[in-house]
Chain A
Amino acid sequence: MTDSLAVSVQPTAGEDVGEARSLAQDAWRSLRKNKIFWISVTLITAFVLMAVWPSLFTRTDPTFGDINNVRDTPSGAHIFGTDGQGYDIFARTIYGARASIIVGILTSLTTLIVGGVVGIVAGFYGGWIDAVVSRITDIFFAIPLLLGGILFMASFPNNPQSTPYLVIVGKVVLTLTIFGWPSIARLMRSSVLQVKPNEYVLAARALGASPLRIIRSHILPNALAPAIVVSTINLGGFIVAEATLSFLGIGLTPPAISWGVAISDALVAVRTYPHILLFPSLFLSLAVLAFILLGDAVRDAFDPKSR
């Protein structure tokens, strides 16, 4: 950290001389040196690979239940053992990554988009628009994410026979988005309010730039960083929320394979065969940890004060 500071104040030293670096470039330089960043990226890459290409990790069919072979402890044939239906736990755990990763990433993206747009509109235009939009945000902010999620999912139950996988997952994403966007919106609004009085914004306005152009090329690039950071940290939270809803039987429902469902199914045998519970819980914890660590590292990198 001190090195980069030294570099930037001494224009004559180092190969970066004279080159103006953006906030993102700065952040990347600091991330590159962060061990935690690399650990989390490795974990996330592994989970994303599992989500995209599960057959890379296992050739076992996760929907093949061997009724004569239930609750097997880990062995050569089933390295994580089998669960109460005789499904291979390793295969179920690998295939379960897809639901969690899709829900996590999609929800983060949609909350960032919805919250971002709302926050920019409120912060940039101000006045009565700000008042109305902020109050709506407050209303949604007052509904707890999980309670709202339970209400929503219970009101629109899945039909496992006819509901396609993407709709099942999409419904969870929609639910979490509806109740998850206000925090991003608030953050974005305050961040826009900070950027708006800057001279370059005033200059652009004086030159007659349209509001859309000002937002696009001046406000957005300078106000987006905190929202991205919080979204990354939230990602882990959304994965947990999805698992919680699935655990309660109202999030992802079979045939979708999910860690939350697996944990819920494993509870009955927790006193006798705890390994059935262990593996999906372990993977869930690791995935959440990886995204939260990444968010932490990104926050450090984007925060100029820590440099």
Chain B
Amino acid sequence: MRGTTRTVAVAGISAAALLLAGCGGGGDEGGSTDSGAAAKTGGAITVRGCNPENPLIAGNTSETCGGNVLDVITAKLVKYNVDTAAPENDIAESIETSDNQNFTVKLKKDYKFHDGTVVKAKNFVDAWNYTAYGPNAQLGSYFFEPIEGYADLQSEDPDGDGPQKAPTPKAKELTGLKVVDDTTFTIKTTEKVSNLPVRLGYTAFSPQPDAFFADPKAFGDKPIAAGPYKVDSWTKNAEIKLSKFADYSGARKGNLDNITFKIYQDSNAAYADVQANQLDVTDEVPASAQIDDKYKTDLPDRNLQKPVGVIQTITTAPAKVDPNYGPEIRKAISMAINREAIIKAIFNGTREPATGWVSPVVDGYKADVCGEFCKYDPAKAKEQLAKAGGFKGGKITLSYNADASHKEWTEATCNSIKQALGVDCVATPVVDFSTFRTLIHDRKMKGMFRTGWQMDYPSIENFLAPLYGTGASSNDGDFSDPAFDAKLKEAAAATDAAASNKLYQEAEGIIAKDMATIPLWYSTTTMGWSDKVTNVKVTPFGVPDYAGISLK
């Protein structure tokens, strides 16, 4: 396999050289698809992949290993601009609404799935009904919550994981989805939603071909979608081979003929292979190469770093679980965390200190909502702690899941708190992510714990409603403020995007008053690539834009 890659690369390089000699300085317009298209299409590359957790089904993938592959093989109603994350119509001809509650979606006529069938309105509606239907247990199900009739598709298991089976839900189809004709369908939401079109670009909203419903299990090994690339083969634990879909109807066709995801267990190995030109793109630069920006000398001009829609926060246990972490105490702890120094020492500058609860990559971001409480000031922190009556719980604990690299920063954060407040702070590992989340979900976790949020779609709303709304799905600290909830509702009803964003910003101001969680930092993603490829870009979701990559 290595041999093939190499020969193709040589062919690609000589072709590029010929073309450059022919047309002079055409190399600058690397981003656009027309310039130098002849030289830049074709060829094959290998990129870093990891083992997908589940079969490759768009509605059932919530992690990046499968998500990265799905991202390049699926087409949705909407796609996000690689540079700005702004939504653009893809399969949709138009998405129209007059009241933020009833939407009419018109599809482009010529879109085809990889198996040659045409993408019709019913492919969307059936796929969404399948994903939303509780007994199918699809991980993307919660995306359909706003659509009318969602509650009737769910049923509660009476004894959790016990032997009893959950009763069959009342309905099998969302009442809010109606097929009008082959290219038109309507969506009705339960409440007003100001940003539904923005959400529709997420993978869970992909259409599924008729072949999917015949045998969803087998489908997951060789999925059929409507994106610029199709899956040729998936060798478990080794590689996933993609090739260009000839009949792709979208505007942004892929440049390369073949993309192979080589599955790595360890980002260090992938990085070493990129250094040796054995692998073309890695979307993860290991910590060892980030110290002192080592990757910049390892891969000169072949690396990039870009902020992505991820925020890391510290959440404190709800007051009824652990009463020692009230709003005023949270403010004191927040001021005791030396964000800049920790980012520099532990993350080598690959994070951005948080000044609010919303990632800067989304539309509607407002800087410095948190104000002085997110700035390191040990003297003020101590004063604030004394004002709040001191810490009564003995030791502050900061729990993290030990199966990912959180030990270093939690330890450093605890050291910072300990030194500023004079209260002992212990970073406490929990064996793995699922145990960690179960403890939090069951409200058994005491003290503080780490929380992170990766946006589902680029909107300010996604950083507020699911995290701090009363009873919201990811409201781990049981934050509740009627004023905040009212503001969210008001913002969702606003038909003007700017007005809506402004209301969301006001809502963010409300959670700042009570320090709902302690914002830490915004993430960036770092990538490296071999000297054979060019035009490597990363989306605001932190995923490489595979379709845009081309050989030199």
| B-binding residues in A (CB < 8 A) | 64-65, 67-68, 70-71, 84-86, 157, 159-161, 249, 253-255, 265, 267-273
- Contact with A161, one of B345, B408, B428, B431 (Cβ below 8 angstroms): B428
Residues of A with C-beta under 8 A to B346: 70, 84
Find chain A residues with CB under 8 A from B402 CB: 249
Across the interface, name the chain A residue whose C-beta is closest to B416. Answer: A67
> B342 is contacted by which of A67, A160, A255, A273 (Cβ under 8 Å)?
A67
Contact of B345 among A86, A255, A273 (CB under 8 A): A86
Task: Find out whether the CB atom of B431 lies under 8 angstroms from the CB atom of A67.
Answer: no
Are the CB atoms of A85 and B338 closer together than 8 Å?
no
Asked whether B408 lies within 8 Å of A85 as measured between CB atoms, the reply is yes
| CB-defined contacts of A64 to chain B, threshold 8 Å | 415, 419
Question: What are 9 A-B contacts defined by CB distance under 8 Å?
Answer: A67-B412, A70-B346, A84-B345, A86-B345, A161-B395, A255-B426, A269-B288, A271-B289, A272-B288
Given A84-B345, A269-B288, 8 more pairs with CB closer than 8 A: A65-B415, A67-B345, A67-B416, A70-B346, A85-B408, A268-B288, A272-B291, A273-B291
Q: Does B232 lie at the interface of the complex (its beta carbon under 8 Å from any beta carbon of A)?
A: no
Verify A272–B426 contact, CB threshold 8 A.
no
Least distance between B440 CB and chain A CB atoms (Å): 16
User: From DSSP, what is the main secondary structure of chain B's interface residues?
Assistant: helix
Option from A67, A84, A160, A254 in Cβ contact (under 8 Å) with B338: A67
Query: Complex Cα distance A271/B342, Å?
Result: 21
A160 x B291 contact (CB < 8 A): no
- Please tell me if the beta carbons of B345 and A271 are within 8 angstroms of each other in the complex: no
A157-B289 Cα distance, complex, nearest whole Å? 31
User: Which listed residue (B292, B345, B429) contacts A160, Cβ 8 A?
Assistant: B429
Contacts of A265 in B (CB 8 A): 408
Q: How far is the CA of A271 from the CA of B285 in the complex (A)?
A: 14
- Complexed CA–CA distance, A16 and B397 (Å): 67
Q: Decide if B19 is an interface residue (CB 8 Å cutoff).
A: no
Measured between beta carbons, the chain A residues less than 8 angstroms from B427 are: 254
The answer to whether A67 and B291 touch across the interface, beta carbons within 8 angstroms, is: no
Is residue B531 contacting chain A, with contact meaning CB distance below 8 A?
Answer: no
Q: Residues of A contacting B411 with CB < 8 Å?
A: 65, 85, 254
Chain B residues with Cβ under 8 A from A85's Cβ? 345, 408, 411-412, 415
Interface string of B202-224 (1 = CB under 8 A from A): 00000000000000000000000
Q: Is the CB of A157 within 8 A of B431?
A: yes
Q: Beta-carbon contacts of B267-291 to A below 8 Å, as 1s and 0s?
A: 0000000000000000000011101
Residues of B within 8 A of A84 (CB): 345-346, 408
Nearest residue in B to A159 (C-beta to C-beta)?
B428
* Contact in complex: B428, A272 (CB < 8 Å): no
A255's nearest neighbour on chain B, judged by CB, is B426
- 3 A-B pairs with the lowest CB-CB distances in the bound complex, closest first: A65-B415, A70-B345, A67-B341
Closest to A267 in B: B288
Contact present for A161 and B426 (CB under 8 Å): yes
Which among B294, B397, B431 is the interface contact of A271 at CB below 8 angstroms?
A: B294
Chain B positions 405 through 417: 1 when the CB is less than 8 Å from some CB of chain A, otherwise 0: 0001001100110
Shortest B438–chain A CB gap in Å is: 16
Mark contacts of B515-549 with chain A using CB atoms, 8 A cut-off: 1 yes-contact digit, 0 otherwise.
00000000000000000000000000000000000
Chain B minimum-CB-distance residue to A158:
B429
Q: Separation in Å of the B8 CB from the closest CB of chain A?
A: 31
